[in-house]
Each structure stands twice: as C-alpha cells, then as structure tokens.
Structure 1
Amino acid sequence: MNFKRTYITFLLAFFCFLGNAQKYELGNVTIDELKETKHPIDSSAAAAVIFKTGKTDFFLTNDGEWKVTTEVNYKIKFYKKEGFDYATHSVPYYSGGARNEIVNFKNAYTYNLVDGKIEKTKLKSDGEFKEEINENVKVKKITMPQVREGSIIEFTYIFNSPNITTIDDWYFQGDIPMNHVEYRIFIPGYFQYRTVLTGYETVNSKNESVALGQFLKQKYTYTVDNVPPIKEESYINNIDNYTAILKHELASISYPNEPIRNLAITWDDVVKSIYDHEDFGNELENKSYFEDDLKIILEGLATDEEKIKAIFNFVKNRMTWNESNGVITDKGVRKAYKEKTGNVADINLMLTAMLRYANIQANPVLLSTRRNGIALFPNRTAFNYVIAGVEVKNDVLLLDATNKNATVDLIPLRAVNWSGRIIRERGSSNEIDLLDVPISKDNVIILAEIKEDGKVEGQLRRVLTDYNSFMHRENYTNVNEDSYLEKLENRYKGISIEEYKVDNLKDLNKPVIEQYTFLHENDVELIGNKIYIKPLLFFALDENPFKLNQRKYPVDFPFPFKDTYNISIKIPEGFEVEYLPEGTSVALENNYATFKYLISVTNNNIQLVANLDVNTFYFPAENYEALKDFFRLIVEKQTDKIILRMKN
C-alpha cells in the first residue's frame, strides 16, 4: 500500500514536472489564456509578455571559426488595441562584410478564440520585411497577422553571428509586463566573459559545468518572474540605464597548450586602442589642409582666449554635422574639411588639430552620449562621441563644434553624460567630470494689473542664461517671430502678446532677453464681490511632474537650474486683500533643491518673489518620495489663490 502511494506520488510529481517543463514552450495556448481580458497584476497593461526565453550557444564551423547562435522564443498576449505595436518585432544585424550576421524567424502564429474554439493563423511571407539602416546594418522585421484584443502571438527568431567579442544584450524588462523571462548561455571553457546586470530587478542566476558535444561548457541560467514594465516618467535621460539588461564582453581566451590571451581591458586600454586607430590619432597630425586658412583667422590675435574662440567659431561656422556619432572619423578630416560636413570625430578632431597648431594645449575627450547610456565598465563600445578639451591651469575647457549654438565650455546636452576621458599625446588619460556645469538661470520679472473685466495686463522681461539660453536658441533661432508667438500663446492658454522684442538671440556669449506686453484672461476669477488670482499668473505649476507612487530608478534633471520670479500685481481700485497665501522656505537633503516663496502687500501692490533651485543633475531613488512631496508643496503654493474683496 505504501509502495502504491509512493508510486502515485512519484507519477504526480513527474507529470507536474512535465507540465512545468512545457509551460514555457511554444504551441501550448489555452482557451483560458485567450479569454483573459486583463493582466492579473497590471490591469492597465495593453499587452504582456507571457514568456520570453532564450538560449545562446557556441559552435565551431568546419573552417575552424567560432559561431554564436542565439534562439529567442516569445509568447505575447494582447489586452487592448493600444498594445498592437507589439505584434511587430524587429531584429537588427550586421551585414557589411565577410563576417555577416544572419537572422531568421520561424514558428510564428497568431491565436484567436473564434466561436469558442482556438483559431491559429500562420505568419506568411508578406508579413516579413527587411530594411536597410545603412550599408553595414539591416533589420529583419515581422508583423503578425489577425491580431486583435484577446489575441496571443508566438514566434521564434534565430540570430547567428561570427562575433564572439560581445554578445547581444539580453533584456529582462521592457515597457509592458513580462510574466516570465529566462535566458541560458553555454560558454566554452576556453572563454571568460565579463558580465554586468543593470537595473533594479532581482534576477536569479545559477551556473554549472556541462559537457556538450566536444567541449566542456559553463552553463549560466538567469530567470525572473513578474517583471513590471519600466515606465517612462518625467526626468529620465536614458531609460536603458535603469532597465534590467545583461551585458557580456569577452575578457580572455585560454586554448590548450597556448598562453592565455588576456582581453580584459582598462580605461587606459580603451583610450589607447582608440588613439592608435589610423582614423583617430593620425588625423590629429594632419595639418596641411587648414594651414593657409588658419593663418588668416589667427592674424593679429595675441591671447590664447582670443585664439580659442576664433578657431572654435571658425570650425562651427564652416562645418555642418551630419548627425552621425562616433569616435573614429568617417570621411577623414581632410575630406570633411573640403566638403564642409562630417561626423562628430571628423569635426572635433579637426578642431583639436587646429588648436594644437595655434600652440593651445588641446586634446580629444572621449565620452558616451545620453542616448548611448552610462559607460559602466571599460569596454570597446563604451564611448561613442569625441569633443575637444583645452587644459588651462587646473581646469579643462570643453568644446564641441558640431552645434552652432554651443559656446566655449558649454557643450550640447546630448554630450553631458556623467564623465569622459581626455587623451593626451603622451598616451596618458584622465577622467573628466562632464557634470561640472554652471547653474542655468531663468529670471522673470512681471509688472501687472487687474483690469475691470478681470483680465490681467502687464509687461514681462525674461533673462535666460547658459543651458536655458542654449535650449531657447536650439528651439527658436530658425523659427520666425509670428510662429514663435503662436507657440507661446498656445503654451500659456488665454494670453495675447504684443510689442515682442528679443535681444542676443545670435550673440551666443550673452543671455537671451525677451520683453513683451501681454493680456491674459485665465488668471483671474470674478465671483460675486471677490477676485481670485493665481500669484504666479500663467507661470504657475499646476500639477506635480512626479506621479508614480514608487520609483526604483533615479531622477535625472537635464541640468541644474535656478528659476526666479519677481511679480508685482496692482490691486484694482475699490478692492482689498482678504486672503494672502503664506510664504515658505524649504530645502531638500544635501541642499539638492530649495524653494522660497515670499508674498506681501505694499502700497496697493501684491509683491511676490519665488525661487526654485535644483542644484544637481541626479536624485537617487531613495530621495524620490521627498522630491515628490517637495514638488507637491510647490504646486500647492503656486495654485493657492490670492483673494481680493470689494471694500464696503
């Protein structure tokens, strides 16, 4: 009897094991899954990944070359039509030489519930596409058929690559929920990889030695369940910095009876390999193409400051950036100079060479753009951008001639990303803090009065400095005045602007100054014998930009700033103040941000001074709740209305 009970228990356990083993295999779509109308954890989700599984393995070809094959399986459920974008899937691959990569899709089906039965539709050839990004990169894409609310799709893609140096990043997280994600990688004992797992999700991992085929391999398994979507919110530079992603880079190779090839690299190794590249270091030595022009530019200039500005402006005005990044030149500096266009390296290595020609101590500075992400560890793709650095005393002035509105030591925001590395001719390199930037000011002065009909009439003067002026020029230098005023009137609903004037729009070394008169009709409410006014008028912050109850990743502000408002509002004849909001002064921990709000009445005028200072680029996640409360207080103060009542 005990034997039977044990045997039955064994069978049940065995079948449960089989059920679990098959759970994350394609083809097991059930009626219950198709009937599901909302995600069990995230009811707002428009779609969800039921599972995503992957396996990466290494093989030797008949020619003795290594090949890496990754097979990825997806099963995705659609709840709302807003999620239909996930019925299209794209995989980029390299296709620019002898070592081409190959991508193939298979097992692609859409499942629907029709009259209580499962209907299965296969992807046909007209749903598969190939796109060319450039001469080296293509994209294989599929769009699944018959997708509607309630559908489930499944597909597999196989990615073959001869590149073992880096393995494609594996994403455990996306912008829809993922119920189960599993990744297995089998690495031959000859190879050691450096791995980094980013993000804030807990991913389980284990490893074991396995004998597969002719090699002993190390098997690494990574799993995670119920992964929430990574949600874009205000103030994020690059969401991938905070997404759960597994990254690999080859560190060493150890073949039998051969010495170990150590590929593990330091930052010095990275910068040396870049500097030694013929399309980098050699380009800095090439001077003959610009000498005649530069002699004219430098004529009569005595100081280094004058020479730096003259050379910088010359390159900015002559060259046009083709919007391509890279630390290696595309055309080469000589050809780029002749054609007056080039990539980042073409333009800024040219700039560096010219500065050196003028006996300025200039060197290239390597960095990673915000879109490229933070350079977490030394690797060959950590940097994707290069600018010029001029060393003066104990400081380094940063110059980027790809942007017409950049100035000396004020580079475009795309390049302001944590830290870079300056490379000197002698081969040394040092880290450069890219976040050491001035506080950008936005200073607004308003003189206003409330008219009998409840409208507010006034004059405004606004002064923008540093990155505030840079962004204004980026957005509006090439916009005609009528179009700009239309945008301004759309932003501040209910405003009419007259007598507009702007100073220093093209004088990059001075702040942008705007002045205009306005009539605004949405700031005042007339109720009975009382008038209700928003103290900051149309500049009031009406809602908190931070809405998540919890945020696992930090808050990234574009740049530190100081917003100052000095507003004077004349009280209309026959009215007096019944209620005036209280002033306040608050500061966050470490003085990350401060808010001061002072309001008073003097000589029948309401005087308001409001200052918001954000003194850092970066707020850690543990400070999110305090930051959210800080902005909640700002909203409350700026929307707390002054009340005027008619005198008896």
Structure 2
Amino acid sequence: MNKLLLPLLLVFSISIFAQEEDHQFNQQNFNVGSTRVTKEDLYANTYLPDTTANAFYIYESGYSEIEDGREFNLFTNYEAKIKILNKEGYDEANITIPLYKGGSDKEKIHDLKATTYYLEGSTLKSTVLSESKIFTEENDKYEYIKFTFPDVKPGSVLVYSYQIETPYLFNFHTWWFQDDIPKAYSRYETEIPANYEYNIVKTGELELDQNDADIKKNCFYGGQSQNAGDCLTTIYAMQEIPAFIEEDYLTSKYNYISRIEYELKQITMLDGYERKYTKEWKDVDREFKTDKGIGKQLKKDRLVDELLPVDIASQDNDLDKAKAIYSFVRDNYKWNGNYGIFDEMNIKDLLDEHTGNISSVNVLLHNFYNNAGYTVYPVISATRNAGFPKKIIPVLSDFNYLFVLLEIDGKEYMLDATDEFVKFGQLPFRALNQYGRKLDFDTESSWIDIAPEEFSKVAYRDSLFVQEDGTSIVKSSQSFDGYHASSARRKISEASEDEQILKGLNFVRDSYQLIDLSYENEDDTSKELLVNYELKNISQKINDRIYLNPFTFVFWKENPFKLEERKYPIDFGYKDIYSSSILVEVPENYEIIEMPKQEMFALPNGAAKIQYITQKADDNHLFVRLRVIFSEAMYPSGYYPYLKEFMDKLVNIQNQSVIVLKEKIDNLAEN
C-alpha cells in the first residue's frame, strides 16, 4: 500500500490548470484553479464523477515552508472551495481545525477567513464569517478551532483559508487528498531546506496526477552571517478524487486513505553535525532492553517464583504445561481495558491488584514462561483500528499492543491472556492487524506475520418437520469454532434472555418462534461451542400448497458490499467456513413438486466457493446442503466486484430458495 516517494528523483512533470479559466472538468466548467468563485461554480447542481455526492471540494491547496532566520517554525497556508449541492451536504459547512499542544509550546492559527457565496435569482451574494462566530474547544493534547459557515443553502460555495504555525517539525504536515466527500482537485506544495531530510511516504491506492520535485537555489538563510542554502521544492496533485467511504471488513481507514506523510529523519547543522530524529530498529532494540518499562519488567522473573500451583509447576515443559500456564494467568490476572505499551507498568502492582493494562498482563505471561524455561518473546503491534505500524522506520507511537510468541517443538503460538473467550494459540480479533515486531534482545528483532492459519467455522445441522397445517418445527444443532466461537461466547455471556442469545448468534427469520435453547462448552475455549435450538414456524400454506424456505438461519441477511468501487482491501481477519445441512421431512399426504436448483460458484483462483446442493432422498425427505468457504483472510481490492457478486449469490440462495409441497390428489378426493 505504501509507496516511498523519492522527491529528488524528478520522474516527470504534468502541467495542470495553467490557466484557470480555460479548463473543463468532466464537461463541467468549475474553476478548479483557485478559490475565486465563478458563475459555473454557483450554477452547478451535480458532480458528474459522483452523482450521489451531496457536497464536494472544487479546489483545495496547501503550501508549507520552514521559516528562515528566526525560530525556524513550519508555516502552512491552506485554502479550500467547497460546493454544497443539497441540504444533506450542510454538514460540510461545519469546520474543525485541530491545533496540537505540546509541553511548553503549541501550534497557532493566523488569518482565518471564511465566506459563503450564493445566488439570489441571478445575483451573486456573499456573507463573511464574523470573528465572534469562531469558537475554541480543547483537551489535554489539542485545541480545536470551530466555526460554521453563515447563510448556507443548496448551491452555496464555501471558501475559507488560514495559516498554521507549528514548532513541531518532526511530522512536517500531512496532506490528506481523500476525505469523506469527493474532490475535483487537490494540490500540495512544499519548500524544504536541503539540510532538513524527511522520509516522504504516499499512502493509498490512488495515483498522483502531478509529482514534481526540483531544487531551488539560495532560498534559505540559517542566520544573518550565513550564506543562503538550497531548498527542495515539491508539488503533489490529484484530480477526480473519490470520497473515502468506510465499509465493513476494513481494519482502519488510515491504512488506505490517500495522503502524503512526512517524518523528519535528520537535520544537518551548519557545522556539519547531523542530528538524527528517526532511529533505526537496532537503536530501538537497545532502548527497549534498558527501558524501565518493557525492558525492566521483562526481567522480573523472580517475582513469579513459586506462584504457579504445584500441579502445574511440577509438569514437564511440554504443550500441556504451556496451556496450563496460559489458563492460570488468564483466569487470575485481568485486563483493565487500557491499551498502550509505553504507559507506566509494574508487574509487582499487577500481582498485588490482579488487574493491569494489555502490556502488563502479557509481560507477566512472558515472565511465567521465561521463568519455567520456555523459549518466549514479546511482540509489539497495533490493534486493527489503530492502523498498521510503519515498517521502514521505527515510529513507536504506532504501537499500542503487546502479546507473546511462544515456541514449542518447532511450532510458534501467539498468545494473549487478556481475553477469556479466545483459546490457546488464538489472538483476540482486535489484534489481527497483519504483522507485529518480535523483540529479540539477544540477536535482532524482526517482523512476523499475524495471520491465523486455521479456519474458523460455523456449522448448522437442521431437521425441519413440516406439519399438515403448513407450520413447521425446526431442531437445529449448531457448532462454532475459532473466532466464531469466541464471538458467540462473548454474546452468550452478555445476554440476559434466550431471545437475545438467539438473535445475537444468528440471523433468524422473523416468522420463527423460539421454543427451547441450550448450549454446551460455553466456558471451555478448548472445545467447539455447541448450541441447540427448537423453533416453530408460522403457517406457509396457501390453498392446497405449502411454500417453505428451508433456511431458518442465514449467514448474511444482506450483501455487506454496496459500493460501486472499493479502493482498499477486504479484510475478514481470518479464513472461515460456513455450512448448513438441512433435512426436510414433509407430511405423508403431501408431495414435493418444486425444489431449489443446485448451484456452484467460485471466485477467481478458487479464493472463495459456494456449493449448494438439493437432493430428494425419497417422497417425503429432502436434503439441502450449503457450504461456503473463504480461503483467504484478506482479499485485494481487485476482488471487490467478484466478492460483491459472490455475496449476492449467497444472500439470494438463502433468502429466495423455496420448496413447494402439494397435497396429494387421493387425499383431496377423500376430503
């Protein structure tokens, strides 16, 4: 996903919008070259690249440079022009500008201006934002500048601009090409002194329409007595930028939303001294090893001496003992709900209070294994919603999670003792975020993949007994394994009534009424969770016919994929298998005159499959089997149209399958 930009390598130059009046955009004459509002901007009532848009950016630009000769702060000038197409787009008139607050200094905003342009008849009108309508809110880390454009109505064009001044040069300024509404054109320019070296990274699948870099001579003065230095100038631009719309089966939008990010690598001082800001992983390993947090706590093996029960401690160091240690820690030391790996942690406090954050609980698990003589490593990572940690350079703020990697007989087990519903060797779903960093202080740390090898499974085994009056009784035996089991166990523990469990675990048809519910192994994560139902269905009889959908339980009620196009992967987190086996028994005096057709469907390369089989056993029994296999945990965005069709097939099979029963002629004659 990430593409490292080498701005010093000038690949090509595209001249975009050299003259703002002479351009057409998708046959619409918007002024995409500046914030000047034109008649075409105001008269437009749709946006052709996305006719569903309620608002969009006609134009957006930014320019960042480091002030020379004084405090060397970073200044960014921003301006934007937004078109409101209808009332549903009014939210875009609410603007929030975050300003970071550090220890002794903070970011500042200058020259904030905002104007609403609109038409009254054919007359152009405008309303300028009053300073009294600009508000400030703040928390520990940020001050938020907020305002709402005045006199907004459908067709309005909103123009605003400001300058941000910041002393924090490490991240320079992130330029977000994508937003939750489309953009016709977005452009970002920078002027960076040559002695400031940044790693510049482009994220997202959208391609740049302009990617220019050049050297500007004598642009930067380090002081009154210094000669002028050179600067690197860059221009990045995109046009026809689609809105980023979050859909199901996404880790974090920040992994994929298109943007340009900067991280300060080093500054070369005037005397030639190189001041490094970005470290290498070997430097981080060394710091971790001596750190009073993780490094120090990982060495506190003696604190766990004699804490294990004798029946566990006396076992040989095999897999059974490892599982027993895992269960002991998970059952006796609880997670307090806090993340973070650099927050203050203290194993002694955890042992006293029996509760702590993610890091402390799993460091304790590590120490139990290490004390017992197992080969074990801590792994730092990030939760799914936090985004992927950067691999190229160490950015420790990217990490908020820690778990354990245990090696036994040549096999590796990823362990996290903070979730009572996952089994040994299974990380909580929140931790399935592609990869993590295994900390090995004796040799060298390395990246490891976080990808469950086993399939998670849901299996329904139903017996459907059809009555002469058109009602039916369903007995369903269901099994859940892997991540489906951990999710189901959590729902069972949180539910207070059987109906909540039924609707929490399954998509069940509204026409069914619950008669009985029982389950097994709800507290034993080493076994499959078993759930048994008995339900009754209302009558589906019309005249001498009974119409029946054999699927009491469906895997999906509707297709979760609804976008025309999706520019980011589909991430399920794990591979899974769904199966439904149904035996339909019809009354003796009825015959089966219509049944669903069999279907087979597969994604390219067999990445997912649907097998749907209907088979008549005898005059009164029908077998229905549906098996769905997702062979990958994550699918590239190119699979999206195929997955969309795949899910349409699956939903239609379960929602539209119909068995038709007809009363036998002899029976009708007798009546």
With the shorter chain as reference, the TM-score category is 0.7 to 0.9
Distance 1:15 1:233, change over 3 A: closer
Distance 1:114 1:483, change over 3 A: farther
Paired residue for 1:161, among 166, 184, 192?
Answer: 166
Equivalent positions of 1:20-99 (< 5 A) are 24-26=33-35, 28-30=36-38, 32-60=40-68, 62=70, 66-99=72-105
Alignment partners' CA distance in 2, 1:423 and 1:384: 15
Alignment partners' CA distance in 1, 2:502 and 2:465: 23
Q: Which amino acid aligns with 1:572?
A: P
Alignment partners' CA distance in 1, 2:100 and 2:346: 23
Equivalent positions of 1:226-265 (< 5 A) are 226-258=240-272, 260=274
Alignment partners' CA distance in 2, 1:385 and 1:637: 41
Cα shift readout 1:28-74 (whole Å, capped 9, x = no counterpart): 33455344333233221122122221122112574xx5422223223
Q: Is the 8 A contact 1:576 1:647 kept in 2?
A: yes
Q: Match of 1:477, SS?
A: helix
Higher mean alpha-carbon deviation, 188-197 vs 272-281, is at 272-281
Q: Is the 8 A contact 1:272 1:427 kept in 2?
A: no
Q: Is the 8 A contact 2:471 2:536 kept in 1?
A: yes
Equivalent positions of 1:166-565 (< 5 A) are 166-203=171-208, 204-210=210-216, 211-214=218-221, 215-258=229-272, 260=274, 267-287=281-301, 289-291=303-305, 293-294=307-308, 298-381=312-395, 382-482=398-498, 484-485=500-501, 487=503, 492-521=509-538, 525-539=540-554, 541=556, 543-565=558-580
Distance 1:31 1:570, change over 3 A: same
Alignment partners' CA distance in 2, 1:103 and 1:271: 38
Cα shift readout 1:460-498 (whole Å, capped 9, x = no counterpart): 111101100111123331221246147459853222112
Cα shift readout 1:587-625 (whole Å, capped 9, x = no counterpart): 433332122122111231111121101111122233333
Distance 1:541 1:498, change over 3 A: same
Q: CA deviation at 1:585?
A: 3.5
Q: Indicate whether 1:631 and 2:647 are aligned.
A: yes
Alignment partners' CA distance in 2, 1:409 and 1:153: 54
Which residue does 2:116 correspond to in 1?
Answer: 110
Q: Which amino acid aligns with 2:37?
A: V
Q: Match of 1:459, SS?
A: strand
Which residue does 1:3 correspond to in 2?
Answer: none
Q: Match of 1:202, SS?
A: coil
Q: Match of 2:174, SS?
A: strand
Q: CA deviation at 1:528?
A: 4.3
Q: Which amino acid aligns with 1:161?
A: T
Alignment partners' CA distance in 2, 1:289 and 1:157: 56
Paired residue for 2:662, among 624, 638, 645?
Answer: 645
Q: Is the 8 A contact 1:230 1:243 kept in 2?
A: yes
Q: Is the 8 A contact 1:127 1:144 kept in 2?
A: no
Q: Is the 8 A contact 1:391 1:397 kept in 2?
A: yes
Q: Is the 8 A contact 2:439 2:445 kept in 1?
A: yes
Q: CA deviation at 1:569?
A: 1.1
Alignment partners' CA distance in 2, 1:334 and 1:71: 51
Q: CA deviation at 1:123?
A: 4.5
Cα shift readout 1:250-295 (whole Å, capped 9, x = no counterpart): 2343334425556665555554444443322122123455546447
Alignment partners' CA distance in 2, 1:540 and 1:401: 30
Q: Is the 8 A contact 1:265 1:378 kept in 2?
A: no
Which residue does 1:151 correspond to in 2?
Answer: 156
Which residue does 2:585 correspond to in 1?
Answer: 570
Paired residue for 2:608, among 593, 597, 609?
Answer: 593
Q: CA deviation at 1:109?
A: 3.2
Q: CA deviation at 1:206?
A: 0.3
Q: CA deviation at 1:222?
A: 0.7
Question: Which residues of structure 1 form unaligned runs of 5+?
Answer: 1-12
Distance 1:212 1:414, change over 3 A: same
Q: Match of 2:484, SS?
A: helix
Distance 1:61 1:397, change over 3 A: farther
Cα shift readout 1:318-345 (whole Å, capped 9, x = no counterpart): 4443444333233443345444444322
Q: Is the 8 A contact 1:128 1:143 kept in 2?
A: no
Which residue does 1:129 correspond to in 2?
Answer: 136
Q: Which amino acid aligns with 1:506?
A: D
Cα shift readout 1:105-130 (whole Å, capped 9, x = no counterpart): 71133344446441304154454231
Alignment partners' CA distance in 1, 2:520 and 2:23: 74
Q: Is the 8 A contact 2:452 2:575 kept in 1?
A: no
Distance 1:490 1:417, change over 3 A: closer
Give the number of aligned pairs: 629
Q: Which amino acid aligns with 2:125?
A: I
Q: Is the 8 A contact 1:31 1:118 kept in 2?
A: no
Q: Which amino acid aligns with 1:574?
A: N
Alignment partners' CA distance in 1, 2:431 and 2:352: 26
Q: CA deviation at 1:401?
A: 2.5
Distance 1:349 1:15, change over 3 A: closer
Which residue does 2:14 correspond to in 1?
Answer: none
Q: Is the 8 A contact 2:456 2:577 kept in 1?
A: yes
Q: CA deviation at 1:247?
A: 1.8
Question: Which residues of structure 2 form unaligned runs of 5+?
Answer: 1-17, 222-228, 666-671
Which residue does 1:584 correspond to in 2?
Answer: 599
Which residue does 1:119 correspond to in 2?
Answer: 126
Distance 1:354 1:145, change over 3 A: farther
Among all aligned residue pairs of Structure 1 and Structure 2, give the percentage whose two residues are the same amino acid: 25
Q: Is the 8 A contact 1:267 1:378 kept in 2?
A: no
Alignment partners' CA distance in 1, 2:259 and 2:372: 46
Q: Match of 2:533, SS?
A: strand
Q: Which amino acid aligns with 1:347?
A: V
Distance 1:633 1:482, change over 3 A: closer
Q: CA deviation at 1:208?
A: 1.4
Higher mean alpha-carbon deviation, 573-582 vs 170-179, is at 573-582
Distance 1:372 1:338, change over 3 A: same
Alignment partners' CA distance in 2, 1:353 and 1:193: 39
Distance 1:201 1:482, change over 3 A: same
Q: CA deviation at 1:404?
A: 2.8
Q: Match of 1:362, SS?
A: strand
Alignment partners' CA distance in 2, 1:176 and 1:343: 38
Which residue does 1:5 correspond to in 2?
Answer: none
Q: CA deviation at 1:426?
A: 0.6
Alignment partners' CA distance in 2, 1:72 and 1:276: 43
Q: Which amino acid aligns with 1:380?
A: P
Q: Which amino acid aligns with 1:613?
A: I
Alignment partners' CA distance in 1, 2:577 and 2:20: 65
